[in-house]
């Protein structure tokens, strides 16, 4: 070799290869881990699909034409089909068929009803009950999870009135009160009613409610997130874990790596009962304001319906713990201070029934009948979810079919209360 010694390879070149080899091993490990997670979740841990998206008018609604699955392990597993407008319902023509009367339903997750097949939800069952009575009535469902009265008003204004309804039914649930308050909820992607200095609903010159600005809180990883949302069950599984871990979710939200803010406003503890504050006989000031906003928004929805030649009514949906004493006892164990507070489980229904009757708004209070049927009926609520079961939806449809048909066919001079 002509006396020449072999030259050693440069240390830098050898180091680079080691780094590349290590990176390759890491990426291979991550890839195998991701594949294993995806396989395991799909096989053993079914999760829901992403069903909702940003809407510039009402904040959020279902993804138009979405086909997916809503799952809560051992509780429900439902196939979801969304219409082209972005609501859980069949397709409806904008033009009202001759001889057909229409009812628009406004509400939250109780109407959206992802816990049960759509054909066994209250909106579908109501239409079926009418058909059984030889009534040519079309029921159109605009329920979306997380809605309060404010967003229901906007939904009626921007979507519901397009279908020329003859009757508008607004379904009230107790958490609507806090959902209507920016102070109590404060979600950036939600339009809240503006408030006057006196704490009342702010209105424009035409007497229409005013709403706060809101915006799409898209995360920094939105493009990648959409890809994963549409295709990866493992990603959905991890997101559910993050959503159920407030501290982790709060950190990721501050870094804008997730778009859903942690619901830490109005968190229950001590003398703050969170949602259960609606049962105080003497509401705290911020809750008193939320109650007034809710009532004024109901009247605004009534006036909006009337301006468009539609009748209006309100359905009061009872919460699980209002119907089941054991569930109320469980809530009191979690927040012991409630035992010594002046609370009344009937306060929301009493207050709204009185208020709406005074303002000549028909009101359908389901609480008494649900209490009556609960001991002898199949379970009316999902135990760990607190939404209606199929039996709950069926009972609601049975209770509403006759009086709603009567309201639809009655003159404006009568104000039925049920």
Q: What is the pLDDT of residue 412?
A: 46
Ramachandran region, residue 86 (left: φ > 0; alpha: ψ -120 to 50; beta: rest): left
Give percent above pLDDT 70 in the chain.
77
Question: In the numeric block, which tokens belong to residue 296?
Answer: 């004024």
Cα 228 to chain centroid, rounded:
23
Q: What single DSSP character describes residue 374?
A: T
User: Average pLDDT in the 210-238 region?
Assistant: 66
Q: What is the pLDDT of residue 23?
A: 75
- d(Cα 2, Cα 307) in Å, to the nearest integer? 104
C-beta of residue 109 within 8 angstroms of C-beta of residue 141:
no
Residue 25 pLDDT level (bands cut at 50, 70, 90): confident
SS3 at position 216 = coil
Q: What is the pLDDT of residue 413?
A: 44
Record the pTM.
0.84
- d(Cα 349, Cα 15) in Å, to the nearest integer? 73
C-beta of residue 416 within 8 angstroms of C-beta of residue 410:
yes
Q: What is the pLDDT of residue 186?
A: 84
Long-range contacts of 38-46 (CB under 8 A, 24+ apart): 38/232, 38/233, 38/234, 40/234, 41/233, 41/234, 41/236, 41/237, 42/233, 45/73, 45/237, 46/71, 46/73, 46/77, 46/233
Q: What is the pLDDT of residue 384?
A: 84
Strands (E), 334-379: 363-365
Give the pLDDT confidence of 151-166 residue by residue, as tens digits.
999 999 999 999 999 9
What is the maximal distance between C-alpha atoms in the chain? 116
Closest CA relative to residue 343, chosen from 273, 414, 391, 416: 273
SS3 at position 346 = coil
Give the pLDDT confidence of 31-54 residue by residue, as tens digits.
666 556 555 555 555 777 889 999
Residue 62 has pLDDT above 60, yes or no: yes
Q: What is the pLDDT of residue 47?
A: 74
């Amino acid at each position: 070799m002509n006396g020449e010694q072999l030259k050693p390879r440069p240390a830098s070149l050898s180091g680079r290869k080691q780094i590349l080899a290590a990176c390759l091993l890491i990426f291979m490990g991550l890839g195998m881990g991701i594949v294993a997670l995806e396989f395991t979740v799909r096989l053993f841990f079914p999760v829901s699909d992403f069903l909702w998206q940003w809407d510039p008018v009402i904040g959020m609604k279902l993804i138009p034409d979405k086909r997916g699955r809503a799952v809560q392990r051992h509780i429900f597993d439902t196939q979801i089909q969304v219409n082209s407008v972005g609501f859980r319902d069949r397709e409806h023509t904008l033009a009202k068929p001759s001889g057909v009367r229409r009812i628009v339903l406004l509400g939250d997750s109780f109407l959206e009803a992802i816990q049960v097949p759509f054909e066994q939800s209250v909106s579908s069952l109501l239409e079926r009950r009418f058909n059984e009575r030889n009534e040519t009535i079309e029921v159109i469902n605009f329920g979306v999870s997380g809605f309060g009265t404010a967003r229901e008003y906007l939904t009626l204004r921007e979507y519901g009135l397009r279908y020329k309804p003859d009757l508008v039914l607004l379904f009230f649930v107790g958490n609507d009160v806090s959902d209507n308050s920016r102070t109590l909820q404060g979600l950036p992607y939600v339009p809240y009613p503006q408030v006057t200095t006196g704490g009342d609903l702010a209105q424009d010159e035409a007497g229409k409610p005013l709403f706060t600005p809101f915006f799409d809180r898209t995360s920094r990883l939105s493009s990648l997130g959409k890809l994963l949302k549409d295709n990866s069950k493992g990603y959905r599984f991890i997101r559910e874990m993050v959503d159920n871990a407030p501290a982790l979710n709060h950190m990721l939200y501050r870094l804008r790596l997730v778009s859903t803010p942690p619901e830490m406003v109005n968190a229950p503890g001590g003398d703050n009962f969170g949602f259960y504050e609606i049962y105080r006989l003497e509401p705290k000031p911020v809750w008193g304001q939320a109650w007034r906003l809710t009532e004024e928004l109901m009247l605004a929805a009534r006036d909006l319906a009337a301006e468009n030649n539609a009748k209006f009514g309100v359905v009061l949906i009872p919460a699980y713990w209002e119907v089941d004493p054991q569930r109320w006892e469980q809530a009191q164990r979690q927040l012991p201070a409630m035992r010594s507070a002046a609370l009344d489980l009937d306060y929301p229904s009493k207050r709204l029934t009185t208020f709406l009757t005074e303002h000549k708004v028909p009101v359908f209070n389901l609480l008494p009948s649900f209490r009556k049927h609960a001991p002898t009926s199949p379970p009316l609520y999902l135990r760990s979810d607190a939404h209606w079961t199929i039996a709950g939806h069926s009972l609601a449809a049975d209770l509403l079919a006759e009086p709603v048909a009567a309201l639809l066919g009655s003159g404006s001079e009568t104000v039925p209360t049920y």
